[in-house]
Chains A and B, each alone.
Chain A
Amino acid sequence: MREQSGKILDQLVQHIGLTFISLLIAVIIGVPLGIFISRKKKFSAPVLGFTGILQTIPSIALLGFMIPLLGIGPFPAIVALFLYALLPIVRNTFTGITGVDATVIESARGMGMSRGQILRKVELPLAMPVILAGIRTATVINVGVATLASYIGAGGLGEFIFGGIALNNTNMILAGAIPAALLAIFFDFLLSRIQKMDLRKFKKAFWVLPVCMIFLSSFYLLPDFYRSKMLAGFTPEFMGRKDGYLGLKNVYKLNIRTVVISDAVMYKAAYEKKLDVISGYSTDGRLKAFNLVILKDDKKIFPPYYAAPVIRKDVLQKFPELEKVINQLAAHINDSIMTELNYRVDYLKQSPEKVAKDFLMEQSLYKQPLNGNEGVLRIGSKIFGEQYILASMYSMLIKGNTHLQVQTKTGLGGTKICFDALTNDQIDMYPEYTGTGLLVILQTPDSILNKLNNNKEEIYDYVKKQFNQKYNLEWLRPIGFDNSYALMMRKSEAVRLKIKTISDLKNYLNKK
């Protein structure tokens, strides 16, 4: 955290920049568009309808749409934010201008004002409070949506928020959320003052506003990205972890230009050459789908991430038969099997349930559900394919071997959300990884980490013991695969540059 505190200002400045660049473009395009549709009324319904539809697209989905079209980074984020800001500005300009008293317009014409004079001297000044209200709405929306821009590598306060969620670090979430909230309140207040200014002072506001906006927009350009040969895209979680980016910097002395990006789009971005290096997971199906290769961790900074189910102890005591049933899966899945299963879900778009069922049948573990009603077991999962598959497998095993019903709560945002759900009795079990337990949840100090020395058995034993004591949770037997962090590159490029290990990458980057 301390190492990141200097970043708040950077991110705040980026956030303001992102918000206002997009807002400025939205004003430059939205106000004339609003004026246009107030003149040609037949276009008003389609234009307002279309911008309205843009508004209803969930922001994360809109950012997702941008990636195949515009790639990652600030540009698609600004486009997405611009599209969000468009509706309130166009609609309010239209409403403001059409709301001007027809008699006033008629008298302006009757006195011999030209169309341009009527627009500048009558319509715009009279519509200005309404237009400003639209800009105000758009500003607040943009401050909020801009937090999501960090998903596609555009920076902003979202880096802290999502990093914090991923890392189970409340302080980090607040470090992003509080400035974002204050920013929204501050700009809302500022614009409300301008909006309430007396009509005759609008002439001034008319100039102050664009100047301010251009000034604030320029913020984004200030933190100059230093150049390097390659661009790395790391998830917010990876960026904040000792066994992630911080380890790369400390142990490998890796010096690479980075952007923060969501796991969901990272692999594709690497495949499409928008990114050169990414932080992936070693069993991810997209590794296969996008023809990526893992760089060997020759200095062993990534601890093992053996997957194993974590379950509440009181549940195990209540249903003692569960332990045996759940452990049926243990040692059945190795790295390459998991990668293959993930590939079927992530790339072949088979449903996790189908993949889970096929696999269990293959291994002769599948049984028809007993449809019992002795109780309900709630299985959680994090928000990626592998966890969905595992949750489905456990669900089928439990339904087939016990008289319990199963409720699955899949797609819980991250480690923190899953773990809190478990300790707060919202779910009964979910699949967790030893490395995550060790570093994220237990926040194990360096002295102990050094002793454990990334040894998979010792780590499992340590985590199992600590969870038992601290949280009354039980780690059951490992499933067999190790989904650890890994740096990845396009296979073709790795071969061409002869990069096999992270040290190779560092040496390549340090060469002139």
Chain B
Amino acid sequence: MISLHNVIKSFGFAKAVDDISFEVNEGENAVLLGTSGCGKTTTLRMINRLIEVSSGEILVAGKNIKEIQPEELRRNIGYVLQYNGLFPHYTVAQNIAIVPELLKWPKIRINNRISELLYQLNLPEGILSFYPQQLSGGQQQRIGLARALAADPPILLMDEPFGSLDAITRSNITKEFSKLEALKNKTIVLVTHDIKEAFELGDTILLMDKGKIVQAGKAIDFLFHPKNNFVIDFFAGQKMLLQLNAILLKDIWQHLENSDTSENNLTEIDESKSLWEALELLNHKRNNLLSVKNSSSGEIKLAGYNSLFIGLEALKQKGYE
């Protein structure tokens, strides 16, 4: 859907983006991860031509973006910013309607689309006549998302979309976001400096440093097959947490305790849940054991604090495959 080939962007002598290439498939969530100044935002903004490339080429849906009018291109790509960028002099309804109006949709179609979006994003109907400054930060961010989705673009670019929110709102909205039906079929490129966010939302993560992509792949690859010391250092601070989040119960199936019976009254958990979720459930239920069911064989095993950490240790020993 989106592919970059040897893209370079230089400002004066400095190369903000230094010869990067990657591809994002249709429906995939790609996360550009890195510290500030690594070139991730510049990369994102080149995709909708807010910044023009110095060399290399970018294809969107197979077409070189240089051959598309920038305005035309942007109207077909949703764009969500960190500080939402809602128009303060427009109501919520007018804000959401901006792109459809640019595309000259009829009024009825616009109104239907707005109602649909409110429903999908769990926003109350009454909010439409409000002005952005009358809303909370979380609501503003959701309206920003609704605005980006208004014309139902196949592609969404998101620049630190939750960066301006407080930690709690942020964590809630991130969870909500990962489950949103409206985003299921979108091709998304998301920029963040937050490792947890990247792991939660990214099908593919592209770790950037000094304008280059250091490593690209799935979350778990960064933990178990770091390409170099930069990658190790980058994740060092939150390694344990990330590992618990990235490893699923089925990954340590063999280390779980066998169950004597197929029937017990323990709390059940799906094998596709992460170790972290299992730990949280154990803590929450004040139980010592959870019942885990293998979806293919129907076999039941038991997970307790002990077995979870033994499994994690064993996995780290032999290296994750």
Binding site for B on A (CB under 8 A): 101, 103-104, 106-114, 117, 122, 125-126, 199-200, 202
Contact = CB atoms under 8 A, between A and B. Distances in A.
Contacts of A199: 88-89
Contact of B81 (A110, A112, A122, A125): A110
Nearest to A113: B102
B278 to A, nearest CB: 41
Nearest to B94: A200
Given A106-B81, A110-B50, A112-B72, A126 B89 contact: yes
Nearest to A110: B79
Given A112-B72, A113-B71, A114-B71, A107 B99 contact: no
B50 A106 contact: yes
Contact of B79 (A104, A111, A114, A117): A111
B98 interface: yes
A200 B95 CA distance: 13
A103 B85 contact: yes
Given A110-B157, A199-B88, A199-B89, 5 more contacts: A101-B85, A103-B82, A108-B87, A111-B75, A112-B73
B98 A111 contact: yes
A113 B88 CA distance: 16
A103 B79 contact: no
Contacts of B83: 103
Contact of A107 (B71, B72, B73, B85): B85
B99 A112 contact: yes
Contact of A111 (B82, B84, B88, B99): B99
A125 B88 CA distance: 10
A134 to B, nearest CB: 19
Interface in B82-130: 82-89, 91, 98-99, 102
B170 interface: no
A101 B85 CA distance: 8
- Interface of A (DSSP majority class): helix
B71 A104 contact: no
A125 B89 CA distance: 8
Contacts of A122: 87
B74 interface: yes
Interface string B137-162: 00000001001000000000100000
A117 B103 CA distance: 13
Contacts of A113: 71, 98, 102
B48 interface: yes
B156 to A, nearest CB: 11
A101 B87 CA distance: 9
Contact of B48 (A104, A110, A200): A110
A111 B89 contact: no
B64 to A, nearest CB: 18
8 contacts: A101-B88, A103-B84, A104-B87, A111-B99, A111-B102, A113-B71, A114-B71, A200-B91
A112 B84 CA distance: 16
A481 to B, nearest CB: 71
Contacts of A109: 50, 74
Contacts of B74: 109-112
A122 B95 CA distance: 11
A166 B71 CA distance: 66
A42 to B, nearest CB: 18
A103 B73 CA distance: 20
Contacts of B75: 111-112
A107 B74 CA distance: 10
A109 B79 CA distance: 10
Nearest to B48: A110
Shortest 3 CB-CB distances between A and B: which pairs? Answer: A107-B85, A112-B75, A112-B74
A100 to B, nearest CB: 9
B85 to A, nearest CB: 3
Contacts of A106: 50, 81, 85
Contacts of A125: 89
